[in-house]
């Protein structure tokens, strides 16, 4: 069972909606496509910087170091020619080889959060997950894990704080077919107390009955979605997708306790942006 701060107050639907409304009013690059989901357009320079930092990290994560460009990397992934250390959830592991690259990536993410007017509205961000998601699942067993991302879920069930916001960024590859489904939060999530850790994602089976939101995903357009929005990875016989996701803690909540992911307090990393 994940470690979680059970005493942390549950953020209401209205408080969540208010946060997105205020952010969209302040940040011209964020457009709401649902009261709890924003579509984010990056400045071209920010997105290029992000792709550059990501490719560098991916190259370093390979054994031997990958030589080429992002297109060549995607092709090598589709042909199963990469030797790269990932978790069952396709996340590039933090190791001595990737540490410098991950540090550079977090610096870049912080800059982007500042430009988007998000940094001033959060207390902490999680360590980023950089994912190389293949068109087909690694093995049937990886999909049977208690918290497999291919099952419809919210991260709170896996031990994340209840007030998180996800920033999800498709960076390269086949986001149309190796994609993500996102759902509006079912009313029962709030009225029946489902914003708490569960032993596995099956424990909430049947909670989500509506069809997924119409997202019209494309590379370089990110989503900022509420932690109460169920989501899942969906594979439709496509090719590799590279994406990044980071969880944000909204003010006034703070990461004083240990959660499933590690969080960086904004007041500690603020020195990067002053």
The site for Fe ion (CB under 5 A) is made up of 155
Residues β-bridged to residue 235: 178
Residues β-bridged to residue 129: 245
Shortest distance, CB of residue 231 to Fe ion, whole angstroms? 6
Shortest distance, CB of residue 127 to Fe ion, whole angstroms? 14
Shortest distance, CB of residue 261 to Fe ion, whole angstroms? 11
Q: Which two tokens stand for residue 211?
A: 């069809």
Q: Phi, psi at residue 17, to the nearest 5°?
A: -60, -40
The C-alpha atoms of residue 104 and residue 270 are separated, in whole angstroms, by 15
The residue among 155 and 174 lying less far from Fe ion, judged by its C-beta, is 155
Name the residue whose CB lies closest to Fe ion.
Answer: 155
Shortest distance, CB of residue 59 to Fe ion, whole angstroms? 26
CA angle 128/108/82 to nearest 5° reads 55
The C-alpha atoms of residue 159 and residue 17 are separated, in whole angstroms, by 22
The residue among 46 and 160 lying less far from Fe ion, judged by its C-beta, is 160
Q: Treating both helix axes as pointing N-terminal to C-terminal, what angle do 99-115 and 44-61 enclose, rounded to 10 degrees?
A: 170
Shortest distance, CB of residue 168 to Fe ion, whole angstroms? 9
Shortest distance, CB of residue 243 to Fe ion, whole angstroms? 12
The residue among 8 and 150 lying less far from Fe ion, judged by its C-beta, is 150
Q: Are 176 and 243 in contact (CB under 8 A)?
A: no
Burial label for 145, CB within 10 Å (0-12, 13-18, 19+), is: middle
The residue among 85 and 181 lying less far from Fe ion, judged by its C-beta, is 181
The C-alpha atoms of residue 243 and residue 131 are separated, in whole angstroms, by 5
């Amino acid at each position: 069972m994940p470690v979680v701060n059970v005493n942390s107050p549950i953020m209401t639907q209205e408080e969540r909606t208010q946060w997105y409304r205020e952010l969209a009013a302040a940040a011209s690059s964020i457009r709401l496509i649902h009261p709890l989901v924003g579509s984010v357009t990056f400045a071209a320079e920010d997105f290029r910087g992000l792709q550059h930092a990501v490719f560098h990290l991916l190259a370093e994560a390979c054994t031997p170091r990958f030589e080429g460009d992002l297109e060549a990397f995607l092709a090598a992934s589709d042909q199963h020619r990469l030797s790269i250390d990932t978790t069952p959830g396709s996340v590039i592991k933090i190791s001595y080889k990737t540490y410098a690259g991950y540090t550079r990536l977090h610096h870049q993410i912080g800059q982007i959060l500042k430009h988007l007017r998000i940094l001033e509205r959060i207390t902490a961000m999680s360590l980023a997950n950089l994912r190389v998601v293949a068109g087909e699942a690694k093995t049937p067993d990886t999909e049977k894990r208690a918290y497999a991302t291919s099952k419809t879920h919210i991260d709170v069930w896996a031990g994340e704080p209840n007030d998180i916001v996800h920033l999800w960024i498709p960076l390269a590859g086949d986001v149309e077919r190796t994609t993500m489904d996102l759902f509006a939060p079912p009313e029962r999530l709030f009225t029946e107390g489902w914003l708490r850790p569960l032993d596995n994602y099956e424990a909430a089976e049947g909670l989500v009955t509506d069809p997924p939101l119409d997202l019209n995903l494309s590379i370089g357009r990110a989503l900022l979605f509420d932690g109460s929005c169920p989501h899942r990875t969906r594979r439709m016989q496509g090719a590799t997708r590279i994406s990044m996701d980071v969880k944000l803690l909204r003010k006034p909540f703070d990461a004083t306790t240990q959660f499933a992911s590690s969080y960086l307090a904004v007041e500690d990393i603020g020195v990067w942006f002053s």
